[in-house]
Structure 1
Amino acid sequence: MNSTLAVLINVPILFLLYIIIYFTQALSGKRQFYGVSLNSDYFNKKEFKELDKKFKLLLTLGFIIFTISLLICVYIFEAYVSSSILPITGFCIYQFVIFIYIHNKVKTVKQDLSLEISDLELEKTKVILDTDFMNEKNTIVKRYSILFIIPFIITIIVAIYTCTQYNSMPDIIPTHWGFTGEADAFSEKSLGKVLLNVFMSIGVGIIMYVSSVNSLKSRAKLDTNNINESKKAHLSHLNKFAFSFFLVNLGCHLLFINILIAVSSAGNVNPYMIWPATILILVASIYQTYLYYKSPSKSKSALYSVDDNDDNWIFGSIYNNANDPSLFVQKRFGVGWTINIGSGKGKALFILPFILIIFISLVSF
């Protein structure tokens, strides 16, 4: 990699992160403001608007600083690999720190204003238990659970095949592939290097499957003002969400399968599979972001539930409620779902990615 390529790859990634985070609150719905439950009628109140501007100002300053640090890594130290890791990782940590800072400020302002404004909190509506709706929802989840597991099973089969080819692999095997699909980095063959790709594909596949299914199972918040129309809207959205999850899973497993085949044959990856799979993941993710933004559960009139309680959240981003059976709930700040670390399954799923990272790090070195 040269300096021009390092800049062309890393600066757009950093800028994309900046843009996504800059507009995250706008994508977070009408129920939370920087991770704090708040009546959306007051989002534009002066005190809250000033905190929103402050977050965006600090974020912009951070983007400028980390962009400069990236350019220093590339042009002064010629640390091309570090330029792909340190500035981007640092910017992600920085934005989380300023989010916590603004989150705490919002909580303080909300507490102060609540002394004079009685309806700052979300309206605590009654929980609605509709068995017909729940059965229809479960039917959709079960149908797509089967679809999700099909590409995962194929990945497992290819992973097993890769392990059986270990003895026939050459002494030098590829470890990285370029944009054209040609191998551009190699290493001496070892069981650890081969198992790295196998366990990474299966491990990430498990995380994706569990996350996809349990995200679809997450609590649906019906509109108390129009129950029947709300049920139709929720089921329609659930079908679309499920389809977008299937496309993301399919694209990822196509990548895993292609890489495993390249490892087993000690050859190049197939660009006619890699690029369509990458585009599929990107398009499906954008579509899913749009669906999340339009989700009925994020509307102002959605019913109140336990995950709307500020006391059940750590820093407005980590859900911790042992009394809630939900494994996944919708995020308060941003797009997507987050794990309920209050449950045993939630703790295990939360720790699993870190175990994978440690394993990959140990095998790589």
Structure 2
Amino acid sequence: MNSTIALIVNVPTLLLLYVLIYFTQSLSGKRQFYGVSLNSDYFNKSEFKALDKKFKFLVSIGFIIFTIITLICIYLFKAYEVSSILPMLGFCLYQFLVYIHIHNKVKASKSELALNISDLDLEKTKVILDTNFIHDKNRIVKRFSMLFTIPTVIVILVGIYVLTQYESIPNTIPTHWGPSGAADAFAEKSFIKILSQVLMMTGIGVIVYISSIASLKARAKLCIDSLDDSKKAHLHYLNMFGFTFFVLNVSCQIIFISILIATLNASSVNTFVLWSCTIVTILAAIYQTYLYYKSPSKSKNAVYSVDDEDSFWIFGCIYNNPNDPSFFVTKRFGVGWTVNIGTTKGKIYFAIPFVIILLSLVFI
């Protein structure tokens, strides 16, 4: 990697991250404001609008600071790999701290305003249980679950094959590949390094697989005012989500397989495969963001459910409800779904990515 490539790759990536964070509240739906349940009629109240502007201002300042840090890493220290990791992580941590600050301010403002305003909270409608809808939903989830299994099984089989070919792997193996697909970091071969690489690729692949299925299974919130139309809309969006998750699974697993093959042969990752799969993944993620934004579960008129209670959320972004059997629920702030850490299964799943990252840092 050189200065030009580092600049072309890292700064636009940081810019994309900034844009997504800047508009996160707009993409979060009409049920929560910075992680706090709130009647959307009051989103434009002066107190809340001022906090929204403050969040965007502080995030913009952070973007400028971490862009400067990126440029310093590239041109002053020639630390190209550091420039692609440190500023991104720093900016993510910074914006999370800004979010927590604004979340607490929104929570305090809501409590203060609630003394004089009675309808600040979401309307507590009755939960709708429709067995026909549940059957149709489960049928769609089952179909896509079977499709997601195919690329996941393939990446696991490739990982096992790499381990069985340990003796034939060259003594020096690549541990990192640049944007062109060429290896730019190497290490002496050892079984633990190969095993760690295999576990990381297959582990992330399994996480993508489980997350996709769990997201499709997440609680759907029908609208009591137009039940039939709401059911049709939910099933339509569920199919669209299933399709985008399938594309994401296939593109991610192909990248993981390419990395495993490159590890086996101590070679570069195919440039066409790397970039085509990356572009497909980005496009699928953008389309899924659009679907999530339009999803009926995030509309103002969706029925009230247990995950709408503020008391079960830590900082409005970590769901902790031991009495809710749901594995995944829709996020309050941002796009997508999050795990319920109130259950044992949720705690384990929440910890797994950190374990994989730790293993990769220690052994690779």
Does the alignment reach a TM-score above 0.5? Answer: yes
Secondary structure of the equivalent of 1:185?
strand
**2:303 corresponds to:** 303
1:287 aligns with 2:287: yes
1:20 deviation in Å? 0.6
1-side partners of 2:181 and 2:77: how far apart? Answer: 29
Structure 2 equivalent of residue 52 of structure 1: 52
Residue 67 of structure 1, CA deviation: 1.6
For residue 30 of structure 1, what is the amino acid of its counterpart? Answer: K
Partner of 1:271: 271
Question: In the alignment, is residue 200 of structure 1 matched against residue 200 of structure 2?
Answer: yes
Shift in Å at residue 256 of structure 1? Answer: 1.0
Shift of 1:279: 1.9
Separation of aligned partners in 2, 1:130 and 1:31: 22
The Cα offsets for residues 114-148 of structure 1, whole Å up to 9 and x where unpaired, read as 11111111000001111111111111111111111
Q: Report whether the alignment pairs 1:148 with 2:111.
A: no
Q: How many residues align?
A: 364
Cα deviation, residue 4, structure 1: 2.9
| Equivalent position SS for 1:233 | helix
State percent identity of aligned pairs.
Answer: 63
Question: Aligned partners of 2:258 and 2:73: how far apart in 1?
Answer: 32
Measured in 2, the distance between the counterparts of 1:184 and 1:77 equals: 17
- For residue 319 of structure 1, report the CA deviation from its aligned partner: 0.4
- What is the aligned partner in structure 2 of residue 63 from structure 1? 63
Q: Match of 1:225, SS?
A: helix
**Which residue pairs with 1:2 in the alignment?**
2
Stretch of structure 1 that moved more, 234-243 or 68-77: 68-77
Instruction: Give distance in 2, aligned partners of 1:64 and 1:275.
Output: 28
Which residue does 1:331 correspond to in 2?
A: 331
Question: 1: distance between equivalents of 2:153 and 2:356?
Answer: 20
Query: In 2, distance between residues paired with 1:171 and 1:75?
Result: 34
Give me the whole-angstrom Cα distance separating, in 1, the residues matched to 2:285 and 2:179: 21
Structure 2 match to 1:340: 340
1:275-326, Cα deviation, whole Å (9 max, x unpaired):
2222221111111101000000000000000010101100000000000000
**How far apart, in 2, do the equivalents of 1:10 and 1:180 lie?**
14
The DSSP-based 3-state class of the residue aligned with 1:226 is helix
Deviates more, 1:92-101 or 1:193-202: 193-202
Q: How does 1:236-247 map to 2 (within 5 A)?
A: 236-247=236-247
Q: 1: distance between equivalents of 2:36 and 2:360? A: 36
Paired position in structure 2 for 1:118:
118
Letter in 2 for 1:84: S
The residue type paired with residue 13 of structure 1 is: T
Report the AA paired with residue 109 of structure 2.
V
Matched, 1:222 2:222: yes
Q: Distance in 2 between matches of 1:174 and 1:85?
A: 18
1:65-104 to structure 2, matched below 5 A, reads 65-104=65-104
Tell me how far 1:24 sits from its aligned partner: 0.4
Distance 1:133 1:306 in 2: 20
Report the 3-state secondary structure (helix = DSSP H, G, I; strand = E; otherwise coil) of the residue aligned with 2:268. coil
User: Partner of 1:68: helix, strand, or coil?
Assistant: helix
Tell me what 1:107 maps to. 107
Q: Distance in 2 between matches of 1:133 and 1:192?
A: 48
Relative distance call for 1:82 and 1:275 in structure 2 (3 A) is closer
Aligned to 1:353: 353
Match of 1:261 in 2: 261
Pairing 1:181–2:161 present: no
| Residue 186 (structure 1) shift | 2.9
Change (3 A) 1:89 1:184: closer
Once residues 267 and 227 of structure 1 are traced to their aligned partners in structure 2, the CA distance between those partners, rounded to angstroms, is: 56
1:13 Cα offset (Å): 1.5
What amino acid does structure 2 have at the position aligned with 1:98?
Answer: V
Shift in Å, 1:362: 1.4
Secondary structure, aligned partner of 2:224: coil
Question: What is the identity, as a one-letter code, of the residue corresponding to 2:271?
Answer: P
SS of the counterpart of 2:338?
Answer: strand
RMSD, aligned α-carbons: 1.3
Shift of 1:210: 1.3
2:320 maps to: 320
Deviations 1:230-270 (A, max 9, x none): 00000110011011111100001111111112222223322
Q: CA deviation at 1:182?
A: 3.5
Letter of the structure 2 residue corresponding to residue 287 of structure 1: Y
Normalising by structure 1, report the TM-score. 0.96
The one-letter amino acid of 1:238's match is L
Q: 1:180 to 1:5 in 2, by over 3 A?
A: closer
- State how 1:130-169 maps to structure 2 within 5 Å: 130-169=130-169
Counterpart code for 2:61:
L
CA deviation after TM superposition for structure 1 residue 54, in Å: 0.6
- Which runs of no fewer than 5 residues in structure 1 stay unpaired? none
In 1, distance between residues paired with 2:89 and 2:181?
26
Distance 2:74 2:181 in 1: 25
